Structure 1
Amino acid sequence: MNGITSVWLRQPAVAGKAALLLLISTLCRPSAAQNNELVMATTFSPGTTAWIIQRWQREPGAVRIRTLNRTSASLEQLLDAENRENVDLLLTSSPMLLQHLQEHRKLALFDGIAPASQRLVPESIRSTAVAVAISGFGLLVNRPALAARNLPAPGDWDDLTAARYQGTLLMSSPSRSDTNHLMVESLLQQQGWTQGWQTLLASAGNLVTISSRSFGVADKIKSGLGMAGPVIDNYANLLLDDARLAFAYFPQTAVAPTYVAVLNNSQHAGEARRFIRYLLSPEGQRMLADANTGKYPVTPLAADNPRAAQQRVLLARSPLNYRLILKRQRLVQRMFDTAISFRLAQLKDVWRALHSAEARVKRPLPEIRALLTRIPVDAASSEDEAWLAQFDNKSFAEQQMMAWQRWFLDNQRQAILKLEELK
């Protein structure tokens, strides 16, 4: 499959899930854009966008929308090329993707948007991107699976480091999911660079696997392949009709806007802008307030709305430092994969040995934990623009990753030797 979804309902007559099933049909190969359709590229899953498009189709004269559901990296590659799919719109939660496309002059200017919406958009992309909805981050859990092991539901990042969650967790990688990248960055910015990585590395020892997509984490938890994991709310909320699942926001969750932008070479720019203005209209914002989207509108909900309290919490959050996120994007991605993704099996083994040793001696082993949570890049370097810019050079990045591999391997060997001395 090519990740292309066609969504079209002229006279919606079926409600809820049945309607969504009718709405989603996957095509086997690309087809040229038609005169009466908009092509919308998106990093979201088909289920996330289906309800939005269904409601749009009810508007008088609404044109058909065909979606291309792909990863951020795949869309970046596609839109950097000749845009053979004739993409008109981009719907994403990734400011990194939008920044890249804006720098390459792929996005059209968009003005006249209310400040309440645009204050949520990073300043560097405010001229081309529009915020139409918001989300937050938290933990999705499979309650029966946790109960079978007599485990409480984790409530925050620090809980994920506990030995009792060994072999239960799922997450994605920043290099595979920009949503996960934002979650990782929110942790690094809340706890600080060094402490944040210590938390990530300790929790990584409890992973079952690393999912290739952000929404794959939620799907795997639902299927029982894992018991808990960090996800964005719009993926979790769509699954909560399953009584086995529960979702709780991180106490200090960051707010993650959903952005829309028009491609510079859109053949239907007028219709694309009309769709965006619909999303920001009272009707569009009411639609985005519906739990079927899993998101929250950018317009404040009425006080008696059951979702209003959580929306107020999200709207009150200070935005992430996007300038920092953008400049160290490649560092975070490469560090995560070198420290965790590429050595997950060995990482799990050594943490399992540490947990076993601590249980046996009935005390923490901080010296060994320190070896397993050390990182080769200090906090000052993680914000040094001149040094970070060198990661644009492939040769430099590869040299750094090779040095990091040796670093982590050496620390792991030292940890194993110390564990063996305890026997």
Structure 2
Amino acid sequence: MARGYLLLLLFFSNLSLASELVIATTLSPEATAHIIEQWQQQPQAINIRTLNRTSSSLERLLNNPLGENIDLVLSSSPMLLQRLQDSQKLSYFENKVENSRCLVPESIRATTVAVAISGYGILVNNTRLQEKGLPPPKTWEDLGDARYQGMILMSSPSRSDTTHLMIESLLEQRGWQQGWSSLLQLSGNLATISSRSFGVANKINTGLGGAGPIIDNYANVLLNNPHLGFNYFPTSRAAPMFIAITQGSLHQREAGRFIDFLLSPAGQRALSDSDSGKYPVYPLSPDNPMYHQQSLLLEHPSLDYPLTIQRQKLVQLLFDTAITFRLTQLQDAWKALYHAEQRLKRPLPEIRALLTAVPITAQQASDPVYLNQLEQQPDFRESQLMAWQQFFQQQQRLVIKQLEILK
């Protein structure tokens, strides 16, 4: 009797499990709500429940043998999907859609599908900026302009893979040293560093900041607010959104059907309309209002994904050491510099050079041996972090000394 009751319980439990797909995603709930709503209108569609997490939290979730069953991973982070594939957490998926396949880093094409693309730019609160008499910033240089002190928001690459990819794009396009110089100058204008990239959009939406670099779909879902505006970076490249089926999914077939839907005309429309804010992987016709921007995104070469994945730890650690943990110090230093330049009526390039230097060379940043040591050897990593901290402390002392001489 007890055995029969147990079998019956198991039967209904499996029925319940089959009634939904669970998607673990790094996207915000707002970014996925419309896609899921459109899926639910399809014949024989089963319910979808999302678990919205950071990349690190999502990874821990999938590595927990006692955690709930997850069927799909949806993320714009190739680094996350690479780590999940390397640890055998993803199932093989044959993607026959060439427009999608070519957008996926070669190392994860066996498991991962690109279902949409986005671009990077600057979300602005026009009302807040107009109160200060400021034009909307449109480039990385603009974000570092002294006029925007205390007005800029962004996230950290250690908290947001979307921010990491945006920073990597800047570093690749401008070069390692010049890219970090732009970031360190921008840091003097930061009001705060948000814990999530979509938190940047939410704070700008509520007027807690004037502008910030973000991915377009976080901006587009807010643009019904007349106070907001969004401009793509002139050199923004296509940032794919990826999906993959987990190895542990109990509903592989249904998960595959969901991916097929996303690549279908109906799914591509759901991903690219105003409620989702992305672009389809298929080229749009020239008469489509989204055609021009989609073409601009696709004409720029893709990221150097092998390098991006390999040096993820370096970029995360260096950003937090150089900026996140020194934010108040940097705000004060840049403010003092701007006051000195204004008083002397001339630029002070020697002090700017001190504030924008980093302790890692471009050669180290692409050296596989160095990057592997930083990733795999805790003692080496700790010694590097200590050396970086000492470097920035020395730079700060030199800045203060030179500013005092100028008084």
Q: Give TM-score scaled by structure 1 length.
A: 0.91
Is contact 1:106-1:264 (8 Å) kept? yes
Q: 1:223 & 1:315 partners in 2: Cα distance?
A: 32
What amino acid maps onto 1:411 in structure 2?
Answer: Q
**1:330 aligns with one of 303, 313, 321:** 313
More deviation, 159-168/263-272: 159-168
What amino acid maps onto 2:152 in structure 1?
Answer: L
Tell me the equivalent position of 1:151: 134
Root mean square deviation, CA, Å: 1.1
SS of aligned partner of 1:296: coil
**1:369 aligns with one of 342, 346, 352:** 352
Q: 2:401 & 2:257 partners in 1: Cα distance?
A: 64
Cα offset, 1:417, TM superposition = 0.8
1:301-351: CA deviations, max 9, x gaps? 232221121111112221010111011000000000000001101111111
Q: Return 5+ residue gaps in structure 2 as ranges.
A: 1-14
Tell me the equivalent position of 2:340: 357
Compared CA separation, residues 382 and 131, structure 1 to 2 (3 A): same
Tell me the equivalent position of 1:56: 39
- Is structure 2 residue 207 aligned with structure 1 residue 227? no
Tell me the equivalent position of 2:403: 419
**1:138 aligns with one of 111, 118, 121:** 121
What amino acid maps onto 1:151 in structure 2?
Answer: L
Tell me the equivalent position of 2:9: none
Cα offset, 1:115, TM superposition = 1.2
Tell me the equivalent position of 1:404: 388
Tell me the equivalent position of 2:10: none
Tell me the equivalent position of 2:5: none
Is contact 1:33-1:85 (8 Å) kept? no
1:172-225: CA deviations, max 9, x gaps? 000000000000000000100000000000000100000000000000011111
**1:173 aligns with one of 146, 153, 156:** 156
What amino acid maps onto 1:395 in structure 2?
Answer: D
Q: 1:64 & 1:179 partners in 2: Cα distance?
A: 27
**1:394 aligns with one of 368, 378, 388:** 378
Compared CA separation, residues 56 and 353, structure 1 to 2 (3 A): same
Is contact 1:113-1:130 (8 Å) kept? no
1:219-267: CA deviations, max 9, x gaps? 0011111101000000000010001000000000021100010001100
What amino acid maps onto 2:385 in structure 1?
Answer: M
Q: Return 5+ residue gaps in structure 1 as ranges.
A: 1-31
> Aligned residue pairs: how many?
392
Tell me the equivalent position of 2:175: 192
More deviation, 89-98/113-122: 113-122
Q: 1:146 & 1:93 partners in 2: Cα distance?
A: 30
SS of aligned partner of 1:400: helix
- Divergent runs of 4+, >6 A: none
Same amino acid, percent of matched pairs: 58
Compared CA separation, residues 83 and 286, structure 1 to 2 (3 A): farther
- Is structure 2 residue 239 aligned with structure 1 residue 256? yes
Larger radius of gyration, structure 1 or 2?
2
Q: Determine which structure has greater relative contact order: mean sequence separation of CA pairs < 8 Å that are 6+ residues apart, divided by chain length.
A: 2
SS of aligned partner of 2:285: coil
Q: 2:95 & 2:159 partners in 1: Cα distance?
A: 34
Tell me the equivalent position of 1:127: 110
SS of aligned partner of 1:34: helix
Matches within 5 A, 1:278-357: 278-357=261-340
Q: 2:388 & 2:363 partners in 1: Cα distance?
A: 17
**1:244 aligns with one of 209, 222, 227:** 227
SS of aligned partner of 1:139: strand
SS of aligned partner of 1:293: coil
Cα offset, 1:402, TM superposition = 1.2
What amino acid maps onto 1:407 in structure 2?
Answer: F
1:105-128: CA deviations, max 9, x gaps? 000011142111110001111111
